[in-house]
Each structure stands twice: as C-alpha cells, then as structure tokens.
Amino acid sequence: MSAHHHHPHPNQPDEEDRPRTHFQVMEIALRELLLEKGVIAAEELRVVHEAMDRRGPHNGARMIARAWFDPGYHARLREDATAAARDLGLEPTWLKLIVLENTPTLHNLVVCTPCSCYPWPLLGLPPDWYKSRAYRSQAVDRPRALLAAFGTELADDVELRVHDSTADMRYLVMPCRPAGTEGWSEEALARLVSRDSMIGVTPALDPAAVDARADGS
Amino acid sequence: MTDGSEAPRFQPGDAVRVRKAYPVGHCRTPFYFRGVQGVIERYCGAFANPEELAYGRSGEPAVPLYRVRAKQADVWSDYQGSPRDTIEVEVFEHWLEPCPDRSPAEETSR
C-alpha cells in the first residue's frame, strides 16, 4: 500500500453481501437441488445460457437491413415475417412475428401491458425499462410524452400506432431507412438499426454518427 | 396450436366492440380496452385460450385471435396527441361483439 494512501475507503459490499429477494433464493435453491439430484447437468445449463447470450439485437438488425437492401426480402418480410426470420437462419420456432413498417406518416411503438412479451430471439433479453410499470402504462395512454422522454418527437401529422402484445403475436418495428444511405452495404445498414429503434422508442441511428465503411474495415 | 373447429367470425374491416365484462380469473384483454369500439385489423389464427392455460388446462379448442385497431381518442377521454393516433391490441374472439350501428369501417391502411 502506498505511503501516501491516507484516506479511508468505505467498504464496498461484494455480491454475496447484498440482500437477496425471495425469488433469487428460490432460484438458487431449485437450481442447486436439480443439479445435486442429477435432474439437469451443469453443462446443459451452460449451453442454454450461451444460446441465450448469443441472441441479441444484431439478429433483428440483420432482418431490417436485408429488407432495406433487397426488395425481394422486404416483400417476404411483409408476407410472412416468421418464415423470413428462418430464411436468415434465425430459429424462433414458436415465434409468430409481425414486422411493423414505419413510414414518414406512420410511427409504430411496441409494448406488452400485461407483462413484458418481447421477441427476445431477435432482440436479446428486454431492457429493464421495457418491463417497468411506467413504460407499460405510459406506452398506451401517453405515448407521445413517453417518446419525448426518449428524445423522439413526432409531428402532429404523423400517426403514432401503439401495439399491445397481449397474446401470441410478437412485434418488430422496421424503422425508416435514414436518408443519405444510398449505396450502403447490408452490413453497414445493419449498424444503423438499434434495439431501441426496433421497439419503436427511437428512429434508426443517424448515418453521420456511424462508420459507413463496408465489411472488412 | 390447433385450428379452431369453426371459421373465424370476423373479417378485416369489421366494426367490433370489446365486451365490457370482468370475469374472475386470468385474462389478457386489457381493462383499458374493454367497451372500446374499433375495427378488425387482421385475423391472427386460432390459439390456445390463455384463460385456461393459466390454470394448467389445455386451452383447447383453440380460440380465434384478432388484432383490433381503435383511435386513441376513442380509448382515452383525455388523450394528448394527434387525432390520427391509434392503438392495436390482440383480442380473442369471445371478447368481441359486432358493432352494426357503427358507420362503415375505414380502410385499414398498412
């Protein structure tokens, strides 16, 4: 320890020192019991975790960028979005997907008011704010104020269409393709498609802020 | 998923009202949408009834599911936003009744 190190450091609790909720304790107890009794193997669990970690917004972004780039795929996405996902090797076997296309006069926003349904194979696990009561209530009764909180302002002549994912459908917003991206590669376009733009709280990213160089750079 | 034994009752563009009912038990028809008048945006297919699934029952026969579109101004008396704003909600067939006294449904734009 340095001779000049005089001021005290407050104790920072480790993970083990923090209080656990009832359900955290239940998860640990159940998991340890299942492993101990050989009902599941640790390796099986690890494989499932890795599969879930591999799912992220890059999957949804691939679909959107492909549709921007290829009119044939765009038509496929409109006709059967679930099949279009499978065409790219994405395997949401149970997913009944609907892609919602933004236009200059239509902006789509997705919410699940009963819980927090979300196309996680295409977007990864949902952010905490998506699951919050604040989001789930404001998305339906004051969506413009909610979007403003995300920095998104819509003109009065733009229809804001909210989709409440109350049953078996899952939704992916296709944001408007940003201006000034003519001639961009599919890979570069995918970098403009953020998770938040596929939920509908923001538009796609500003091309000026993103490196437009093609694959390989 | 199995197909419902009967053809779906409603077609896209049909004017419908969400029933104003408050049954005991689990259901996924939001409180805010009950009693609302809207139009059928599409038929989604038939799915197991979540009101049954929630209690460990099979949820069969599958129930037709629709997406219903309504104007936000028709849902919230104090809605702050554009009169063009809409909301679309998935509603099971047994929660919908026809709305014959409503003026012809507007074309569902995509």
Cis peptide before A13 (omega within 30 of 0): no
pLDDT band at A211 (very low <50, low <70, confident <90, very high): low
State the average pLDDT for chain A: 92
- Structural tokens at position A94: 């149970």
For residue B82, give the chain A residue with the closest CA.
Answer: A156
Task: Flag whether pLDDT at A73 surpasses 50.
Answer: yes
pLDDT band at A33 (very low <50, low <70, confident <90, very high): very high
Find tokens 């419908």 and name the residue: B16
Q: SS3 of A2, please?
A: coil
State whether A160 and B79 contact (CB < 8 Å).
no
For residue B109, give the chain A residue with the closest CA.
Answer: A106
Q: pLDDT: is B89 or A91 the higher one?
A: B89
Q: What is the pTM of this model?
A: 0.87
Q: Residue A12 has what pLDDT?
A: 84
* B37-47 and B63-71 beta bridge pairing: antiparallel
State whether A141 and B79 contact (CB < 8 Å).
yes
DSSP characters over chain B: ----SS--S--TT-EEEE-----SS---S-GGGTT-EEEEEEEEEEE--HHHHTTT---PSPEEEEEEEEEHHHH-TT--S-TT-EEEEEEEGGGEEE-TTSPPPPP---
Q: Would an 8 Å CB–CB cutoff place B30 in contact with chain A?
A: yes
- What is the C-alpha R_g of chain B? 14
State the average pLDDT for chain B: 89
State whether A161 and B81 contact (CB < 8 Å).
no
What residue spans of chain A are helical by DSSP H? Answer: 22-36, 42-54, 57-69, 71-79, 81-87, 120-123, 128-131, 133-141, 143-149, 186-190, 195-199
State whether A162 and B87 contact (CB < 8 Å).
yes
* CA distance linking residue A139 with residue A161, whole number of Å: 10
Task: Flag whether pLDDT at B109 surpasses 80.
Answer: no
pLDDT digits (tens, 9 = 90+) for A46-62: 999 998 888 999 999 99
Q: SS3 of B16, please?
A: strand
Q: Residue B107 has what pLDDT?
A: 44
Nearest partner of B72 among B38, B109, B28, judged by Cα: B38
State whether A113 and B91 contact (CB < 8 Å).
no
Task: Flag whether pLDDT at B3 surpasses 60.
Answer: no
State whether B80 and A144 contact (CB < 8 Å).
yes
For residue A156, give the chain B residue with the closest CA.
Answer: B82
pLDDT band at A217 (very low <50, low <70, confident <90, very high): very low
Q: Residue B17 has what pLDDT?
A: 98
Lowest average pLDDT, out of A73-82, A132-141, B50-59, B68-77, goes to B50-59
pLDDT digits (tens, 9 = 90+) for A86-142: 999 987 667 799 999 999 999 999 999 998 899 999 999 999 999 999 999 999 999
The angle at the Cα of A62, spanning A166 to A67, to the nearest 5 degrees, equals 85
Residues 40-59 of B with CB under 8 A from A: 44-45, 47, 50
Percent of chain B with pLDDT over 70: 85
State whether A164 and B81 contact (CB < 8 Å).
no
CB A93 within 8 A of CB A64: no
Q: Would an 8 Å CB–CB cutoff place B3 in contact with chain A?
A: no
Q: Residue A6 has what pLDDT?
A: 73
pLDDT digits (tens, 9 = 90+) for A157-186: 999 999 999 999 999 999 999 999 999 999
Q: Residue A144 has what pLDDT?
A: 98
Instruction: List residues of A whose CB lies inside 8 A of any B CB.
Output: 96, 101, 106, 113-114, 140-145, 154, 156-169
Nearest CB among A101, A159, A164 relative to B89 is that of: A164
Contacts of residue B78, defined as CB under 8 A and 6 or more positions apart, other chains included, come to none
pLDDT band at A1 (very low <50, low <70, confident <90, very high): low
What residue spans of A142-215 are helical by DSSP H? Answer: 143-149, 186-190, 195-199
State whether B44 and A168 contact (CB < 8 Å).
yes
Q: Residue A216 has what pLDDT?
A: 40
Q: Would an 8 Å CB–CB cutoff place B60 in contact with chain A?
A: no
Chain B partners within 8 Å of A159 (Cβ): 82, 84-86
Over residues A181-194, mean pLDDT: 96
- What is the C-alpha R_g of chain A? 22
Q: Would an 8 Å CB–CB cutoff place B34 in contact with chain A?
A: no
Nearest CB among A113, A114, A142 relative to B80 is that of: A142
Taking the CA atoms of residue A111, residue A116, residue A122 and residue A125 in that order, the dihedral angle to the nearest 10 degrees is: 130
Cβ neighbourhood burial of A143 (10 Å; 0-12, 13-18, 19+): buried
Nearest CB among A114, A157, A164 relative to B87 is that of: A164
CB A49 within 8 A of CB A190: no
Neighbours of A213 (CB within 10 A): 12
